[in-house]
A and B are shown apart, each in its own frame.
Chain A
Amino acid sequence: MAGARRKLLLMGRSGSGKSSMRSIIFSNYSAFDTRRLGATIDVEHSHLRFLGNMTLNLWDCGGQDAYMDHYFSTQRDNIFRMVEALIFVFDVESKELRKDIETFVLCLRNLYEFSPSSKIFALVHKMDLVILEKRQDVYRALMKSLEDTSAMFSFQVQGFATTIWDESLYKAWSSIVCSLIPNVALFQKHLQTFADISEADEVILFEKTTFLVISHVTNPRSPGFRSDSTRFEKISNIIKQYKQSCSKLRAQFQSLSIRGTDSTSYLDTMTSNTMIMVIMSHKPDIRGSSNLPGGNDINGDGDESLADEAENNIILANIKIARKMFEKIEMMNPDDR
């Protein structure tokens, strides 16, 4: 059974941050580690297995003038053929924004010729160098030009403001990769079922190595404080860094449960390629005693922890049962629905 192979073109001016992004998301570099990366010579090809049935063929194209000249002349059909997605990185500090946009247009022109069904993503990168108040404006201004130019070629560009120093990078790449997963809707559907049965407030499915969010389901009746819309990518960022810290101590991260005042979060392996996070808000105790903030044990020793353990076991059992189903989805032929 052949897996889906997705060719991604990562282009942008030299030094805009393409290889840094690639190494953070796909090679476990920390943002600080990217300092020691060298310039990309010509095109760096990476083959990354994503889930069970998809291979991402990432073409990290060096942005020096000499290479760009090649991409648009002698190497045109080699570069622009069979592209699933173009990820164009704009350095927000670029002194030649006009030239960058022209290069973007050249890419669109070639994609229109060789891969007209390609998806287009624009990352407005290094946003940490722009002062907070100006960020929206800078982003919107650039995106306006890009949307106009993309429309000329009947492409719809999706934009993200990113920086390697916060979770915005994860949001962008999650969106990019998920748009390429052949049966992402199926994941969503089954995750919803799982959430309903578990009576969970929220369930999130992550890819195991990159920790990119594949899918998430939120119970509409869950308490209102879950209003931080960036929480998913924040979790990606935090857990990934936690995993890296664990590996520095020669420990392999397996699972996590965090008990808070109002809810408990469980993070565990779902399939060999995915991890699942289940957030359960605390229910009132069955015997009628109130669930005081701070988790005080009113009824005596042991009841509190018994309830915890019970819930823990239930969640794990649910995950175990659901595992087979999710494994099946992963191994599915991409053309199946």
Chain B
Amino acid sequence: MADFGGFPQILSLFYATFHPTEGTKVLYQVPPGSVVKSTDPSAFNTPLFDFESINSYIIPKPQLCNKLLTLRVNNYRIVSHPVHIWGSSYARNSFLFNFCFVFHKDADISAYNPVVRKLSKMFQALEEQNKFLSSAQMSEGLKSIVDQVYEDLNNYCECFIPIDEANSINIKLFPLHHPPPRIKAFHVPISTVQLKAVMDVNWDPTMEKIVEFIDGINSVRKIAELADTDYKLTRKCIQHLMYYGCVIVVDIFQFSNSYACTADISTLANDRHVGEECQSYVASPGANKRNVCDLLELYCSLHNGQTVKEWYIANREHLRGIDIRRFISFGIIKGIIYRVNVFPVLEDINVAATDPLDKRLLRLTKNIKHFDDICTDTQTSRVQSLQSLEKYGEVVLIRA
């Protein structure tokens, strides 16, 4: 799981509305005195910021309403979702309100955006259904809801408040991750957590089937085959696991692959933790851990133009007690080596293709795909693919 420092605290939660003669005003705030001066004995001495200076952004023009609005004032960040409801039953034909969350300006508020939006939309629905906000105005019920949302989200990161028979507030904070990149059939997922241990009966059936085949060796395509599941669903499951940081993807390991160092090779030398991690990860079962210097030297000896097989033969002595697959995997995962892909390019096509498999092969080649992709797609070996391609013209191999 990616490092997660916890959700930021809500420093203040307030409810503001547009009064027909007074304009924007704060009807309720928690904690008391945090936004506007309050006579409550437990109130803040001075508010966190000058509300007057930003009140035009709390109830903004209609064009900015019904959208998530974030503004920064001094050391604070206010996340809100102002709502504008048109209706001839209201004075001046509209009802405008806003529930605002105040955080410290440096807080990571990404997890709160969906929450603020959801809360606003829910209150909008309540108002449209039975004038919950405009008739109550400042009923004790609304005050206690605001109090409870503030307390529960800060203490428990979730909140459940039944409002009436039909409506309830049900919010939970979730950390927001980056969307995962597209996964290809030839990618190999490696699990970073004990998947079987975290799994329970509520998991997706496809997920349950594929978990046992995620071993760092099988490609996505192979997993789907072995687990007898639909390829697209399998791919989606792997993507989900990637999103939550449970797996990472690498290329298929083959002895015919080539690898070379990247500019980040220095991290192995400079970062002690990476070095130690490497030592434990690449050691074969029962073998002694190798020196970080030796490992570094071995990584540097990898280069474009030499397959793993050739490299292994050349360095056999030095590679005793090292699991080659894990050695390569570690390098890829940490970004200290990269995979050199081979792209076949057909100069001219001399003969028209007749075989459907060949046609597919040619199409893939035309789209500039590397051998892993081609082989996984056509389910042939590299040698076979190359032979098939050579029937149609001269093939140039580009390594990159």
A residues at B contact (CB < 8 Å): 13-15, 35-39, 41-42, 62, 64-67, 69-70, 74
Question: Are A36 and B93 touching (Cβ within 8 A)?
Answer: yes
| Residue among A13, A35, A36, A66 having the largest count of chain B Cβ atoms under 10 Å | A66
Given A37-B93, A42-B56, also A14-B20 (CB < 8 A): yes
Q: Are A65 and B62 in contact (CB under 8 A)?
A: no
Cβ of A32 to closest chain B Cβ, rounded Å: 13
Indicate if the CB atoms of A39 and B52 lie closer than 8 Å. Answer: no
Contact between B94 and A38, CB atoms less than 8 A apart = yes
Contacts of A36 in B (CB 8 A): 88, 93
- For this complex, 8 residue pairs linking A to B, each with C-beta atoms less than 8 Å apart, are A14-B21, A15-B21, A38-B86, A38-B93, A41-B56, A65-B23, A67-B23, A74-B52
- Residues B37-86 near A (CB distance < 8 A): 52-53, 55-56, 59-62, 86
CB-contact partner of B20 in A15, A35, A74, under 8 A? A15
The distance from the CB of A66 to the nearest CB of chain B, in whole angstroms, is: 3
B22 within 8 A of A: yes
Return A59 CB to nearest CB of chain B, in Å.
14
**Chain B interfacial residues counted at CB < 8 A:** 22
With contact pairs A14-B21, A38-B86 given, residues A69 and B52 touching in the complex (Cβ less than 8 Å) = yes
Is B184 close to A, CB under 8 A?
no
Q: Is the CB of A41 within 8 A of B60?
A: yes
| Residue pair B61, A65 in contact (C-beta under 8 Å) | no
Query: Once the chains bind, are A64 and B93 in contact (CB under 8 Å)?
Result: no
B residues near A (Cβ < 8 Å) are 18-25, 52-53, 55-56, 59-62, 86, 88, 92-94, 96
Q: Once bound together, how far apart are the Cα atoms of A144 and B169, in whole Å?
A: 58
Residues in B whose Cβ lies below 8 Å from that of A62: 23
Residues of B contacting A35 in the complex (Cβ-Cβ under 8 angstroms): 88, 93
Query: Known interface pairs A36-B88, A42-B56, A74-B53. Does A64 touch B23 (Cβ–Cβ under 8 Å)?
Result: yes
A36 to chain B, nearest CB (A): 6
Chain A residues near B60: list those with CB within 8 A.
41
How many Å lie between the Cα of A37 and that of B55 in the bound state? Answer: 22
| A to B contact number (C-beta, < 8 Å) | 54
Decide: B20 and A66 in contact? CB cutoff 8 A.
no
Chain B residues, Cβ within 8 Å of A39: 18, 20, 92-94
Contacts of B25 in A (CB 8 A): 66
Q: A14-B21, A64-B23, A65-B22 are in contact. Are A38 and B56 (CB under 8 A)?
A: no
- Report B143 CB to chain A, min CB distance, Å: 22
Known: A39-B93, A64-B18. 19 other contacts (CB 8 A): A14-B21, A14-B23, A15-B20, A37-B93, A38-B92, A38-B93, A38-B94, A39-B92, A39-B94, A41-B18, A41-B56, A41-B59, A41-B62, A41-B96, A64-B21, A64-B22, A64-B23, A65-B23, A66-B22
Residues of A within 8 A of B22 (CB): 64-66
A66 touches B88 (CB 8 A): no
Question: A320: shortest Cβ distance to chain B, in Å?
Answer: 45
B20 touches A38 (CB 8 A): no
User: CA A147 – CA B392 in complex, angstroms?
Assistant: 99
User: How many Å lie between the Cα of A15 and that of B92 in the bound state?
Assistant: 8
State in angstroms the CA–CA spacing of A37 and B18 once bound together: 15
What residues of chain B lie closer than 8 Å to A14, measured between beta carbons? Answer: 20-21, 23
User: Contacts of B88 on A, CB cut-off 8 Å?
Assistant: 35-36
**Cβ contact within 8 Å between A41 and B61:** yes
Q: Which residue of B lies closest to A19 (CB)?
A: B92
Residues of chain B within 8 A of A41, CB atoms compared: 18, 56, 59-62, 96
A36 to B55, CA, bound (A): 25
> How many angstroms between the C-alpha atoms of A58 and B23 in the bound complex?
21
Inter-chain CA distance A134–B56, complex, in Å, is 40
**Residue of A36, A42, A69 with most chain B CB atoms under a 10 A cut-off:** A42
Q: What CA separation (Å) do A69 and B50 show in the bound complex? A: 14
Q: Chain A residues with Cβ under 8 A from B55's Cβ?
A: 66
A42 to B96, alpha carbons, bound, how many Å? 14
- What separation, in Å, do the CA atoms of A42 and B22 have in the docked complex? 12
**When chains A and B are docked, how far (Å) is the Cα of A15 from the Cα of B22?**
11
Q: Which A residues are in CB contact (< 8 Å) with B86?
A: 38
| B59: chain A residues within 8 A (beta carbon) | 41
With CB as the reference atom, state the residue of chain A lying closest to B88: A36
The CA of A62 and the CA of B62, in the complex, are separated in Å by 14
Complex Cα distance, B18 from A42, in Å, reads 11
A15 to B20, CA, bound (A): 8
- Chain B nearest CB from A2 CB (Å) reads 29
Residues in B neighbouring A13, C-beta threshold 8 A: 21
Are A42 and B94 in contact (CB-based, < 8 A)?
no
| Residues of chain B with a CB closer than 8 A to A74's CB | 52-53
Known: A38-B93, A41-B60. A66 touches B24 (CB 8 A): yes
Report the separation of the CA atoms of residues A41 and B94 in the bound assembly, to the nearest whole angstrom. 11
The one of A37, A64, A69, A70 in contact with B19, judged by C-beta atoms closer than 8 angstroms, is A64
Closest 9 CB pairs of A and B: A66-B23, A64-B23, A39-B92, A38-B94, A65-B22, A38-B93, A41-B61, A66-B24, A14-B21
A62-B18 Cα distance, complex, nearest whole Å: 12
Min CB distance A211 to B, Å, is 27
When distances are taken between beta carbons in the complex, the residues of chain B under 8 Å from A65 are 21-23
